[in-house]
Amino acid sequence: MQNTTDTEPLSQSPPRSPSPTSAREARLAAIQNRLAQEHTEAAISGPSNYIPFDADHEKRQEFRRLIDPGILRVNRREQALASLQVKSMLPDVLQWDIHPFPVRLQTLLTIAENIIREPHNSKFKQFKPTNSRIKRDLVDPKGTLEYAVALGFRDEVIVYDFQPLYVFKDKHMPDLLIGAAILKEVMHTEAEKQEREERRAKLQKEEEQARVEKVTFIVKSINATAELYSTLAGQESLHG
């Protein structure tokens, strides 16, 4: 006997695709969520290679203070930082003209790394402050020459021509190693900060564009509705 309680399955209409308005709102909400995440990451981020207190803690702090506020805050930001797009940390010799503006931290790091890599090469262990490029990149900017001194360079006078010269003293090699590590730390942190700022600016631009598109769509919808009502009203008056 056939079960009279059985019924035919109800036909289901296909799911509706989201309306343009809801799609725009979803896009705007997604952008806002990404912006909020960017703010959260920026708030909780810090130097990724932080080292806790040890015998060298005070020396590291001294080098950090020499960079900020010593260099970064007193010089224009884009001049104080080395180009973050410089080819592989300027290998072998100082490639001064690789970037259009003077490179501060990168120059200091290159000097330090040259000595670390070739500690017995005397050409890497001295520089003349009167050299035009040295003067531009190390002497004239506030704080950079002080950092070189903290790395272990001391000013001397060449007897035969009485020219000033900064010479690295080998006894300061531990300071040089710490100072080079802090330069890398700061440059890494600044690179991350710059990347976050660029992403945030891009997201803000996308958010503004999404808002404009949403408002434009609403205005067009209102105008289309008003035009439709006007057309219908005109037709009714003709048949009235």
pLDDT in tens, 65-105: 999 888 887 766 555 554 333 333 333 433 333 333 335 78
CA–CA separation, 125 vs 146, rounded Å? 16
Q: Does residue 146 register a pLDDT over 80? A: yes
Give, as one character, the DSSP assignment of residue 96.
G
> 147: pLDDT confidence band, cut at 50, 70 and 90?
very high
Q: Domains of the chain, with CATH numbers?
A: 55-193 (1.20.58.2190)
For residue 145, give both structure tokens. 């020459």
pLDDT of 31 above 80: no
Mean pLDDT, rounded, for 161-184: 92
Respond yes or no on whether the N-terminal peptide bond of residue 164 is cis (omega within 30° of 0): no
- What pLDDT, on the 0 to 100 scale, is given for residue 93? 37
Of 133, 147, 69, 66, nearest to 101 (Cα)? 133
**Each residue of 205-238: pLDDT tens digit?**
888 888 888 888 888 888 888 777 777 776 666 6
Mean pLDDT (the chain) is: 74
13: pLDDT confidence band, cut at 50, 70 and 90?
A: low
CA distance from start to end of the chain: 62
